[in-house]
Structure 1
Amino acid sequence: MAGNPNQYIEIGSDGIRFVMEHQSITSNEKTMIPREEVPVDEMPIDNITINGVSNIESIDDDSGQLIRMKYDEVEYTTSGDDKPEDERSFFEKLENETGIAFDDTSQEFIFSENKTGKKNFIDFMRVLFEQGHMTKDDLPYQTKYARNAYLLNTEPVDQKGEQMKRTGEPVEGVYVATHYAEDQKKKYMKQLVNDFVKGESIDT
């Protein structure tokens, strides 16, 4: 997809939502994909900075009337930033445990500079399994365009029984191929989040 998608803030009676415009590749239809939500019980929002506000409009939604405005960048903190570990998002836990960050604006993963790309990739897979987003029952797992290769399997072999390339073992009995370039690794990470992490969606 060329360029960054349009981003909007929606202000309603139930709180504030940050959404991203998604353009269908098969039609001119555009939909809004939720990225983050600040419910009323996590108010107030402190130290908020919004840059490039435009296209302010009032619209009717399933939850009632709300104000929607387009923006370029936003930074803020909320009263819920110090929430317990079990209430943190997948991305917060991922960064806390591995140093792998996720940039909401660019919709891109940022690897920890203290580790190799292979180690970052394996650590990401480990978090998926340790947090219960994936289990061995989900394996073997094949990416969208792979022909005979598995990305993840319970044995270090592909569909033809041949050895997977440069495997890592994020958790016992789970093998991941790690020979991909860094950009490809990050694309597969996005795909895994979309396929297995409930409530999270990354524009790919």
Structure 2
Amino acid sequence: MLQEIGYSTKTNNKSIYSDFREIIKTELINKGYASCNTDIFVVKPNDLFYLQLSYERNVFFTEDSFVQITISEYEKICSLSSKINKSILLGIYLYIKQFIMNYPGDIAPAKISFPSKSQIAKGLDTSISTVENGLSVLESYKLIYIRRDMFVENKKEEGVFVPTRNVYALDPMELEGDSVLIELERIYGKRIYNKDDVPGEIRYLTKMKGE
């Protein structure tokens, strides 16, 4: 755990262990997030001890209206090999996941999310280029899946079709079929086409400086 947060365990500086014990005691045990049947302050650095997370005060699951993340998801993102700050990657992942709803019943809409890159960037107070790089990392590690190459008719030019926003999912099966197109049509108010079905000219949007 010390190594995970950036401390070296190859040191004789015992204050590191004391500080770490103090954090576990005051921030986790005393605040009710976990319990331990061992006295934290007498555990030797090479000894194992166990923390039992509290069900009532579990930081990973909540009945409140917040996006949920599992321990497995959290650990996967934190262990990624990337130059991008892990908090940014986690923020992008959670921003996308918060719009993916679990609807009851056998016949339910696709579990997808389609915030624009500018929305994600604004929500995380970062740049669009950082969001694009983060999406690339998350996609490469198969933490998210992205469907692209869908087009809608340009509002200003009849017969000219431009790309829609990306559509995201946590399961690649959710991106298959026409259900994704139907969901996007609700947003755009127009028919959405796959690239091979576009009945006109495809024109890609030009990025403006600073975007």
TM-score by length of 1: 0.28
Pair member with larger Rg:
2
In terms of fraction of residues, the more strand-rich structure is: 1
With normalisation by structure 2, the TM-score equals 0.27
- Larger helix proportion, structure 1 or 2? 2
